[in-house]
């Protein structure tokens, strides 16, 4: 199953109040394994950056001045998102800004039915605990040493690892008959194809041939008083 884990950075908390998205980072996962495909973009918000927001993500007016407007990257973003579930932390915030930007440039809003909120999952699994991304990384042993400030792509990559843990962990070796999948970095290191790139194979025929059926019948006919005949006689 394909899923996109994403995060946004903004000028503030309220798209209805004039705040804009300034960064989005998206990570593709298939069957809860990162494929290596990402989408990342900065946007010129066409408004000044409040100092409080800049202190969170470090994106200044000067840095964003030459970046494209959201409308210039909207089609590329939508193509990457496709129609699969979209996973975010406190997802109503990110969905609100994403849909506000899409509506501003006359694109259809993303359906809220696609939303998967890791904050809701964390509260359900660990009630009463801290549920920030930092706290979840600490709980699950996810390395966040590079997270000096908020950054959409880095946060999406961290959240992808947290999401796997919130939904049961990788548990390689406990697949109970399902095909084992190497984690993406290890699979790449040893030259294995990932689930996203492995070619599909036609199912093999397993029905016995006429000759095999004949040999089986001959073998059975040589048995005296087989057990299954006695069981059949009592039913």
Catalytic residue annotation: 150
What is the Cα–Cα distance from 155 to 93, expressed in whole angstroms? 15
Q: In what order do the strands lie in the sheet with 2-10?
A: 33-42, 21-30, 2-10, 86-88, 115-117
Q: 76: annotated binding-site residue?
A: no
Place of tokens 């694109």: 107
Instruction: Answer yes or no: is 3 a known binding residue.
Output: no
Q: Is 7 annotated as a binding residue?
A: yes
**H helix intervals, 38-197:** 51-57, 61-64, 70-81, 91-104, 118-125, 133-140, 152-166, 184-189
Say whether 89 counts as a known binding-site residue: no
Q: Which helix (H) or strand (E) holds 51?
A: helix 51-57
Cα distance between residue 178 and residue 193, in whole Å: 16
Report d(CA 152, CA 24) in Å as an integer. Answer: 5
Nearest to 45 by CA among 10, 86, 3, 94: 10
Q: Is 155 part of any known ligand binding site?
A: yes
Known binding-site residues for substrate equal 7, 9, 52, 57, 155
Which residues are annotated binding-site positions? Answer: 7, 9, 52, 57, 155
Q: From the annotation, which residues make up the binding site for a divalent metal cation?
A: 7, 9, 155
């Amino acid at each position: 199953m394909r899923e996109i884990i994403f995060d946004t950075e903004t000028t503030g908390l309220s798209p209805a109040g004039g705040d804009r998205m300034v960064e989005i980072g998206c990570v593709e996962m298939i069957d809860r394994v990162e494929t290596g495909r990402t989408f990342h973009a900065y946007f010129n918000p066409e408004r000044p950056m409040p100092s409080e927001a800049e202190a969170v993500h470090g994106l200044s007016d000067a840095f964003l001045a030459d970046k494209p407007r959201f409308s210039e990257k909207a089609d590329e973003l939508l193509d990457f998102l496709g129609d699969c579930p979209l996973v975010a932390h406190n997802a109503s915030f990110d969905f609100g800004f994403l849909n506000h930007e899409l509506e501003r440039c006359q694109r259809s809003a993303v359906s809220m039915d696609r939303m998967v909120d890791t904050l809701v999952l964390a509260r359900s699994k660990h009630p009463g605990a801290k549920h920030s991304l930092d706290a979840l990384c600490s709980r699950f042993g996810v390395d966040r040493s590079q997270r000096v400030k908020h950054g959409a792509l880095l946060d999406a990559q961290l959240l992808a690892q947290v999401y796997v843990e919130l939904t049961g962990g990788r548990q390689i070796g406990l697949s109970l008959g399902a095909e084992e999948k190497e984690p993406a970095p290890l699979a790449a290191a040893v030259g294995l194809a990932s689930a996203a790139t492995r070619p599909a194979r036609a199912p093999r025929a397993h029905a016995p041939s006429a000759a095999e059926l004949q040999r089986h019948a001959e073998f059975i006919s040589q048995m005296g008083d087989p057990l299954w005949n006695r069981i059949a006689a009592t039913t």
